Structure 1
Amino acid sequence: MVSVSNPETSSLVSTYRSLVPVRARRRIVRRIPVPLRNLVMHLLAAFDSARSAVVVRALGGRRNPARHSVNASLRVVRIEGKHVRAAVVKGATEWAARARNFHMVVAVLEDAEIEYFAVRGTGKDVPCVAVSSRYRGDVEEVLQIAFGLNPGYVRDASGGQLRTGASSKTWSRLRSSQVVRLTWNVCDPTGQLVFGPASGCDLEFWAESNGELAAPRPNAVVTRLQVGTELRVAEQKLFSLVPSQYHTGYARTVSDFTARLPGDHAYPIDVVYTWVDDADPVWRAGKDAVRRSLTPDTTEQLHDQADNDARYTSRDELRYSLRSIHQYAPWVRNIYLVTAGQTPGWLNSAHPGLRVVDHREIFSDPSALPTFNSHAIESQLHHINGLSERFLYLNDDVFFGRPVHPEHFFHPNGLTKFFTSKALIPSGQVTPDDLPVDAAGKNSRGLIAQQFGTVIAQKMKHTPHALSREVLAEIEQTYERAHWVTQHSRFRSPHDIPIASSLHHYYAYHKARATLGNLRYVYVDIGDALAQRRLDRLVAKRDFDTFCINDTVVPDDPGAQERMVKRFLNAYFPVPSPFELPGAEGTPTRRTTELGAAVE
């Protein structure tokens, strides 16, 4: 391989390398006792701060090199039934743990001047680094030293027992493994989040023969390379995804692995929330005033759940839903919070990836405001200025439960995915006794049947909804009358259509612009007698892509229910996101918008 220099290598290390040939340096390493080698590595690390600094931001955002040093706090945790050590990192996230492991493997190989290249397309969620099998002895030796300095673990990439990387016996046992998983474990200070081999970095040994390197397993790009293929430098985030505002350094690779692939999601994806806090006295007064202004005929048409207090109750779920994005969906570009002039007191509204949007900014007819109908608000989301063409719409009681990827919700070519529920839309026409959600489903069914001749029966799961602005704008034109009626219904009405949560998906499907998706999901009714048991299972297993916790009925003991939900959310999402003001709790504040004075 023809190597290139990494811009983050320290001047001290570069000088040493320029004066001492590679083979001589390796002989020196083998002859120096391990304790002395460790001491030298400590001294070099003290001067090589540039390299370690790039990963600091990805592990919590604060520049505190101590948390990444060999003296960082270690804790014994349990991973796959085995007690192992993990570095305690404030602000730990899964994506940062993964980026950290990749970064450390790259740093070790570069410091030892062992030729490597980063690999894409293995079909795994973990990053991957490849070296020639000719260098296996050198690789094992330098990694054994590195694991002695910073405790970590190794196993066969396909599974098997987790073993300490500092032991020569470990590497002897793994000698037949052509792909190994390297892991420096990480946990957050609460111990609730532990990131082990699933967030590690794979190391492939490519067989070298007759001037050619052959991969030990398939990948989607290239599995054979000529020895001497020119290397280039690429950002590490190409191989281990981190949020756009973070930089984790560079890695060497070949040009084949830097090209855009058909399976890459090259377009931005934003998230939109609709949010309300019923504890806001200004908001409540406005809602009560509108309710009193309704005519008797209109009031009689409203179902009890059209203005149920449970529909508006905020248990601070938004804070934790945002944490779930920060923890498990680092690919999200921007977040838009659509409100009626409210802002949570804890929200860091100055964060560059977050924008609070007032209803008055998006409603095509301002006379429809104020509104207390989520169907009406959802009908206007595609009017958000600057919103990406493809975006996810979430209620604040929907959460990401483990690492997810854009392909969970969108095809690489831009087609959206939707997730049908086993729950069915009741048959027949709309009646006054219909729940608002059932009435809306029936209305949607009528529109689809009229235009496409098919009868829809299934409701949608309470998941993030993958939406297209173009499709939403087309729906606004195609079903102009129904869309206008929905926008102007101040409370949920028997005439509503569920545009964002259902109609979009069925319409796009019939237009060949959406497909049925597959998502591991669960809905927890927190009013159910078994709610606590189900929440406890969620925390213990963490095996759902997304989940929703909700209650449509006001509980007999709201305080007990709120405490149950709070305990669960703090246990599942203990790491604050950058969308929170440090230490802030607070009540919602009224916003002064560019459209006028404070919203009343």
Structure 2
Amino acid sequence: MIAEHVGTDLREQVKARIAAAAELREQAVRLRVTRRHRELLARHDRTVVSVAGTPRIAHVVPGIIPLKARRANLEQVTAALREAGVDYFGVRSASDTAAAVAVRAEDRERVLTALRQACRARPGYVVPVRGRQLQEDSALPGYGPGSWKRVAGADVVRCTWYLTDQTNRLVLGVRYGCDIEFWRQEDGELVSPRRNGIAEAVPVDEPAVEADESLFTDFTSLPAEREPVRVTTRPAFAAGAIGRRTFPIDVVYTWVDGSDPHWLQERAAFSDRPYHEEAANAARYLSRDELRYSLRSLHLYAPWVRNIYLVTADQTPEWLNTDHPRIKVVSHKEIFKDPAALPTFNSHAIESQLHHIDGLSEHFLYFNDDVMLGQEILPQHFFLPNGLGKFYLSPALIPYGEPSPDDPPVAAAGKNNRRLIAERFGDTIFRKMKHVPHALHRSVLDEIEAEFPEAHQRTATSRFRSADDVSVTSSLHHYYAFHTQRSIAGEDLVYRYCDLGNPGVERVLGRLLATREAHVFCLNDTTSTEAELSRQQALMTRFLDEYFPYPSPYERGADNR
């Protein structure tokens, strides 16, 4: 008891010191706000935010998202150039979150003067780009005279107007700025100061054309899926280069409200005696509102998604904006071939039927609601431009041997997948998959249903998880697609798995929030007791409210459409 008491005191002291340090940092930021800052903050839509310990003037834009920040910075730069009468054209940048425009090197003084005036009128920042990844602390205040002397000779500079949301928790800075490239004239051509993958030289007097935004960044949806966003450019950059994605990508979620009395009554009516305690754990069916935050992450970090399908047992979250054109709620009754299989309480069974969704695209991502996007993510993290999918292998292994009643559901399903792959292709699989969005092909799922009819049917008709299940979407699809040349192993996704039942989870969540380094993270829990759930709910809600601080358009009453 004494040791436990001492341990608690130490934890409280650590928390107090962290809070005190945070307050000191905020005080330091406030003290460093100069009189010039205060003058520039006279307008109500500006504020000071701390970025990497440095005060930055930010413009408050309710509901701001990364794609809109990219567009806003591009528009700010091009508006300044147009007002100054400077010719420019859009070029493809190496960054999908930062835009880029080209100007003639001989117009340097006019360009820098125009940008300096724009940064004074609406406080912005400038930084020279010299082939390195830009850091937030390298940005110089563009509303001050000294900064422009430091970028005067740079071949490429980036202008950024810091943007923040109405809570000041989400700050979008240098990563979303606009690069200005100074192209020099040589023998009747304008020559780029850096490589861009499309054209390093264009004719001097070539007329400008208009092109869609999707030719300049993969971090946007296809033209047919939105209102056109046009960019002034040169013909080479308006040509559809090979390697662009030209197919739609949808997202599918499966969701259940495990606290719904009707659902609980149905579950009890079918004598719920799952073969393994993990399948019956209360945490498996608890709705912690993860779906709300997962949709927020999708809105922020994957604007290229077309439609979002929510597969449920005739349940709909009360907060979900079902009037949104991209949201489609799908009942189990619409996708199960065999009505006698319903109701079902087996996620493996539900997942085996996803390819029956009417209108679903050939290429789609399957999300569990406890999976979140942690930063900007691109279609090519999941699908190559030619349609090949990517899967992400876990270091965790499928136990060797035959399925056993003692196996947890995931292990039993993995063993059953192994048998099917070995019988069909002669290979033995050993590794599980990471708990990330799964890149799936609708046609591959059709083939699996036809190729393994008995195993597929057995899984689809099992009301509760069974030792005979296969895991179609999270494993079998990937191995089958790999063997039929339609998927490859991916390695370019930064992923974090957070078990809410682990004692050190607060530290893990704190690091995730501070760095936002993960493309994808999963908040999972299959082992906690019901007594522990309320504490974990409070912890997770605090974390998610900080990470995704305002509603997405997929929530009722959201004002950030």
**TM-score between both structures, scaled by the size of structure 2:** 0.88
- Aligned letter for 1:85? I
- Aligned letter for 2:469? D
Cα contact 1:121–1:221 (8 A) shared by 2 = no
Alpha-carbon deviation of 1:170?
2.0
Question: Cα deviation per residue 1:281-309 (whole Å; 9 max; x = unaligned)?
Answer: 111111111126xxxxxx4x711222322
What residue number does 2:263 align with? 283
Question: Cα deviation per residue 1:291-334 (whole Å; 9 max; x = unaligned)?
Answer: 26xxxxxx4x7112223222111000000000000000000001
SS in 2 for 1:462: coil
Alpha-carbon deviation of 1:143?
0.9
Q: State the distance in 1 between where 2:145 and 2:243 align.
A: 40
- Aligned letter for 1:511? T
Question: Cα deviation per residue 1:537-557 (whole Å; 9 max; x = unaligned)?
Answer: 111111000000010023332
- Aligned letter for 2:266? G
SS in 2 for 1:557: helix
- Aligned letter for 1:291? S
Q: State the distance in 2 between where 1:534 and 1:275 align.
A: 26
Q: State the distance in 2 between where 1:486 and 1:389 align.
A: 23
SS in 2 for 1:263: coil
Q: State the distance in 2 between where 1:510 and 1:342 align.
A: 37
What residue number does 1:444 align with? 417
What residue number does 2:73 align with? 101
- Aligned letter for 2:119? F
Asked if 1:528 is matched to 2:505, the reply is no
Which of 502, 527, 534 is 1:553 aligned to? 527
Asked if 1:220 is matched to 2:197, the reply is yes
Alpha-carbon deviation of 1:246?
5.8
What residue number does 1:13 align with? none
Match runs of 1:405-484 below 5 Å: 405-484=378-457
What residue number does 1:191 align with? 168
Cα contact 2:67–2:97 (8 A) shared by 1 = no
Q: State the distance in 2 between where 1:166 and 1:396 align.
A: 44
Question: Cα deviation per residue 1:509-539 (whole Å; 9 max; x = unaligned)?
Answer: 1111100002110100001111111111111
Q: State the distance in 1 between where 2:170 and 2:271 align.
A: 45
Which of 122, 139, 142 is 2:94 aligned to? 122
Asked if 1:170 is matched to 2:170, the reply is no
SS in 1 for 2:554: coil
SS in 2 for 1:342: coil
Match runs of 1:310-389 below 5 Å: 310-389=283-362
Match runs of 1:181-330 below 5 Å: 181-236=158-213, 238-239=215-216, 241-242=219-220, 247=227, 249-291=229-271, 299=273, 302-330=275-303
What residue number does 1:570 align with? 545
- Aligned letter for 2:511? R
Asked if 1:390 is matched to 2:363, the reply is yes
Higher mean displacement: 385-394 or 527-536: 527-536
Q: State the distance in 2 between where 1:333 and 1:79 align.
A: 33
Identity score, percent: 48
SS in 2 for 1:450: helix
Q: State the distance in 1 between where 2:308 and 2:236 align.
A: 33
What residue number does 2:110 align with? 138
SS in 1 for 2:140: strand
Question: Cα deviation per residue 1:392-416 (whole Å; 9 max; x = unaligned)?
Answer: 0000000000000001111110000
Cα contact 2:213–2:220 (8 A) shared by 1 = no
Q: State the distance in 2 between where 1:392 and 1:368 align.
A: 25
SS in 2 for 1:273: strand
Alpha-carbon deviation of 1:163?
1.0
Alpha-carbon deviation of 1:251?
2.7
Q: State the distance in 1 between where 2:414 and 2:46 align.
A: 53
- Aligned letter for 1:146? A
What residue number does 2:463 align with? 490
Q: 1:400 to 1:448 in 2, by over 3 A?
A: same
Q: State the distance in 2 between where 1:170 and 1:208 align.
A: 27
Q: State the distance in 1 between where 2:309 and 2:187 align.
A: 56
Q: State the distance in 2 between where 1:510 and 1:570 align.
A: 42
Match runs of 1:40-59 below 5 Å: none
Alpha-carbon deviation of 1:100?
0.8
- Aligned letter for 2:407? D
Q: 1:88 to 1:121 in 2, by over 3 A?
A: closer
Q: State the distance in 2 between where 1:308 and 1:499 align.
A: 22
Q: 1:583 to 1:235 in 2, by over 3 A?
A: closer
Q: 1:449 to 1:574 in 2, by over 3 A?
A: same
Cα contact 1:307–1:492 (8 A) shared by 2 = no
Higher mean displacement: 388-397 or 260-269: 260-269
Match runs of 1:502-521 below 5 Å: 502-518=475-491, 519-521=493-495
Question: Cα deviation per residue 1:231-254 (whole Å; 9 max; x = unaligned)?
Answer: 112344543544577658533101
SS in 2 for 1:86: strand
Q: State the distance in 1 between where 2:60 and 2:539 align.
A: 27
What is the count of residue pairs matched by the alignment? 509
Asked if 1:579 is matched to 2:554, the reply is yes
RMSD of aligned Cα (Å): 1.8
Q: 1:447 to 1:471 in 2, by over 3 A?
A: same
Alpha-carbon deviation of 1:387?
0.5
- Aligned letter for 1:365? D
Cα contact 2:283–2:533 (8 A) shared by 1 = no
Higher mean displacement: 76-85 or 102-111: 76-85
Cα contact 2:209–2:238 (8 A) shared by 1 = no
Alpha-carbon deviation of 1:501?
0.4
Cα contact 2:215–2:237 (8 A) shared by 1 = no
Alpha-carbon deviation of 1:202?
0.9
Alpha-carbon deviation of 1:256?
1.4
Q: State the distance in 2 between where 1:253 and 1:571 align.
A: 39
Alpha-carbon deviation of 1:505?
0.3
Cα contact 2:393–2:431 (8 A) shared by 1 = yes
- Aligned letter for 1:574? P
What residue number does 1:296 align with? none
Cα contact 1:307–1:491 (8 A) shared by 2 = no
Cα contact 1:390–1:468 (8 A) shared by 2 = yes
Cα contact 1:420–1:460 (8 A) shared by 2 = yes
Which of 517, 520, 523 is 1:543 aligned to? 517
Q: 1:578 to 1:410 in 2, by over 3 A?
A: same
Q: 1:580 to 1:552 in 2, by over 3 A?
A: same
Q: State the distance in 1 between where 2:44 and 2:228 align.
A: 19
Structure 1 runs (4+) greater than 6 angstroms displaced: none
Q: State the distance in 1 between where 2:384 and 2:465 align.
A: 33
Alpha-carbon deviation of 1:76?
1.3
Cα contact 1:317–1:396 (8 A) shared by 2 = yes
**TM-score between both structures, scaled by the size of structure 1:** 0.82
Q: State the distance in 2 between where 1:170 and 1:458 align.
A: 53
Question: Cα deviation per residue 1:208-245 (whole Å; 9 max; x = unaligned)?
Answer: 12321000000111011111111112344543544577
Alpha-carbon deviation of 1:379?
0.3
In structure 2, runs of 5+ residues without a counterpart are 1-40
